[in-house]
Amino acid sequence: MTGSTESGTTPAACCDDSADPAPAARPGARPDGLWTVDEHLADVLAAVGPLPAIELQLLDAQGCRLAEDVLAEGDLPPFDNSSMDGYALRTPDTVGASAEYPSVLAVVGDIAAGAGELPTVGPGQAARIMTGAPLPPGAAAVAPVEWTDGGTGTGRAADAMTAPVEGEEVRVLRPVAEGAHIRRRGSDVAAGSLVLTDGTRLGPAQLGLLAAIGRATVTVRPRPRVVVLSTGSELVQPGDPVGPGQITDSNSFTLTAAALDAGAIAYRVGGVPDDAARLRAVLEDQLGRADLIVTSGGVSVGAYDVVKEVFAEYGGVDFRRLRMQPGKPQGFGRIGPGAGVPLMALPGNPVSAYISFELFVRPVIRAMLGAEDIHRPVVRAHCPVALRSPAGRRQFLRGRYTAADGLVEPVGGAGSHLVGALARADCLITVPEDVTELPAGSEVDVVLLGG
């Protein structure tokens, strides 16, 4: 694989456009051989769209967007019921009731939540009723147990229901208004009403509502299945011994976690060595379960980069250089039979891989999900430190943003190997292509990474 010559401390010196080859002769190639960030983003987004809708069990649909309008078949609540533990009664029986002169009512039944058979409450009568239990015929209100003596015969306000007693009488200590403590049928959701619209993201409350209206399955845009693989013979897996010249594969973890964070189902495939046959075999294996394949490494100009060679065999994968730093070399296209599976080949340097993911892969995943908010939020902030940036490149420096005072500070240098600083950053500071120096205090665009 290629070795980057960056120092990590001198942003302006790390990307020398003179190293870029002559303009490519293929269709669509830019006169200077470089695409802008916006052109590349537009191209990758043009190649994907929301995945076809499928029907899923509710919990499998968490985080997905609805692909249907959902109507309620029945009412919610499905029947008039009590919002309090207490006594269902007829309100005229409580007119003028007080602690001194309570209304004394005969208790004719005990209604628990889920009760099927209900007593009829006549004049001078009440029924014990629990929260959520159906209102019995004849009753027009519920007195919470605290408004009664709870059937104890003491005449003192009770603080809880006690066990039912044969021949119980209850003393009601104040008047109860018509409809008090009753949750009316259909007052939450009316039968036939539109409860969730196409495109709504299904979080806990929406899934709960679907369950409440009796839906066991729902039609959604599924979460894309993203296969993440790292390439490079120098890679060993975390925990394995690291031999001379070897490094631990961190990209597959960063990118798999980022894919999950973006809303995908992500499968991490560990490092694949620079061996065309092995890479081919892994890709063939993964094609069947992937909606998107994301690779890292092997997209630059190194002598052992089999990635380009193998992707070239599939045809349809374009390798290009972008006017950005880090993340200059990028590949994308489709591989495999039929329409193929979208593939995004990111540079191997860990920071380049992650920033490329945030700028290009995340929006692709979000577009596949059918999300409207496909991009990270961008805010303006003042940077108290002077910045340098290579000419002709949009630079993305790692930073920490303080919303309260609208300030952003760079973290670490510009080197695309600086994973320590990356882990302390919460945003990317953008320096435009035509700017090489920004004085301290300048206002900059800041991409908020979230979490």
Ligand X SMILES: Nc1nc2c(c(=O)[nH]1)N[C@H]1C(S)=C(S)[C@@H](COP(=O)(O)OP(=O)(O)OC[C@H]3O[C@@H](n4cnc5c(N)ncnc54)[C@H](O)[C@@H]3O)O[C@H]1N2
Question: Where on the chain is the footprint of ligand X (CB under 6 A)?
Answer: 1-2, 4, 19, 230, 232, 234-235, 247, 249-252, 296-302, 305, 326, 328-329, 347-350, 352, 416
Q: Which of 81, 295, 352, 395 binds ligand MOO (CB under 6 A)?
A: 352
Separation between Cα atoms, residue 297 and residue 317, nearest integer Å: 15
Binding partner of residue 331 among ligand MOO, ligand X, none, CB cut-off 5 to 8 Å per kind: none
Q: How far is the CB of 19 from ligand MOO (least distance, A)?
A: 11
As a whole number of Å, the end-to-end CA separation of the chain is: 32
Region from 76-84, 321-329, 367-375, 420-428 binding ligand MOO, contact rule CB under 6 A: 321-329
Q: How far is CA 76 from the centre of its chain?
A: 28
Whether the bond between 77 and the residue before it is cis, its omega within 30 degrees of 0, is yes
One-letter amino acid for residue 398 of the chain: R
Half-sphere exposure of residue 266: CA atoms within 13 angstroms, side-chain side: 22
- In this complex, which beta carbon is closest to ligand X, that of residue 24 or of residue 104? 24
148 binds ligand MOO (CB under 6 A): no
Burial group, residue 246, by CB count within 10 angstroms (0-12, 13-18, 19+): middle
- In this complex, which beta carbon is closest to ligand X, that of residue 33 or of residue 74? 33
Q: Which of 4, 103, 148, 295 binds ligand MOO (CB under 6 A)?
A: 4
Q: How far is the CB of 416 from ligand MOO (least distance, A)?
A: 3
Separation between Cα atoms, residue 385 and residue 370, nearest integer Å: 39
Q: What value does the CA radius of gyration of the chain take, rounded to a whole number of Å?
A: 33
- In this complex, which beta carbon is closest to ligand MOO, that of residue 82 or of residue 296? 296
The 330-349 site mask, x for binding ligand MOO (CB under 6 A), equals -----------------x-x
- In this complex, which beta carbon is closest to ligand MOO, that of residue 225 or of residue 323? 323
Burial group, residue 407, by CB count within 10 angstroms (0-12, 13-18, 19+): middle
One-letter amino acid for residue 188 of the chain: D
The residue count for binding ligand MOO (CB under 6 A) is 9
Separation between Cα atoms, residue 318 and residue 308, nearest integer Å: 9
328 binds ligand MOO (CB under 6 A): yes
Region from 167-175, 188-196, 323-331, 367-375 binding ligand MOO, contact rule CB under 6 A: 323-331
- In this complex, which beta carbon is closest to ligand X, that of residue 172 or of residue 351? 351
Half-sphere exposure of residue 113: CA atoms within 13 angstroms, side-chain side: 9
- In this complex, which beta carbon is closest to ligand MOO, that of residue 94 or of residue 416? 416
Binding partner of residue 103 among ligand MOO, ligand X, none, CB cut-off 5 to 8 Å per kind: none
Tokens matching residue 259: 């894919």
Q: Which residues pair with 380 in a beta bridge?
A: 445
Separation between Cα atoms, residue 206 and residue 195, nearest integer Å: 9
426 in helix, strand or coil?
Answer: coil
Q: How far is the CB of 279 from ligand X (least distance, A)?
A: 12
97 in helix, strand or coil?
Answer: coil
E strand spans, 273-313: 292-296
Q: How far is the CB of 295 from ligand MOO (least distance, A)?
A: 14
Exposure string for 337-360, b = 16+ CB within 10 A, e = fewer: eeebbbbbbbbbbbbbbbbbbbbb
* Interactions with ligand MOO, residue window 363-422 (CB under 6 A): 416
Q: How far is the CB of 433 from ligand X (least distance, A)?
A: 16
Q: How far is the CB of 375 from ligand MOO (least distance, A)?
A: 20
- In this complex, which beta carbon is closest to ligand X, that of residue 127 or of residue 299? 299
Transcribe 207-241 into DSSP letters.
HHHHHHTT-SEEEEEPPPEEEEEEE-TTEE-TTS-
Cβ-closest position to ligand X: 348
Q: How far is the CB of 257 from ligand MOO (least distance, A)?
A: 19
Q: How far is the CB of 434 from ligand X (least distance, A)?
A: 20
**Segment holding 128, helix H or strand E:** strand 125-129
Binding partner of residue 91 among ligand X, ligand MOO, none, CB cut-off 5 to 8 Å per kind: none
Q: Which residue has the tokens 């009796």?
A: 214
Q: How far is the CB of 324 from ligand MOO (least distance, A)?
A: 7
Q: Rule CB under 6 A: which residues touch ligand MOO? A: 4, 325-328, 347, 349, 352, 416
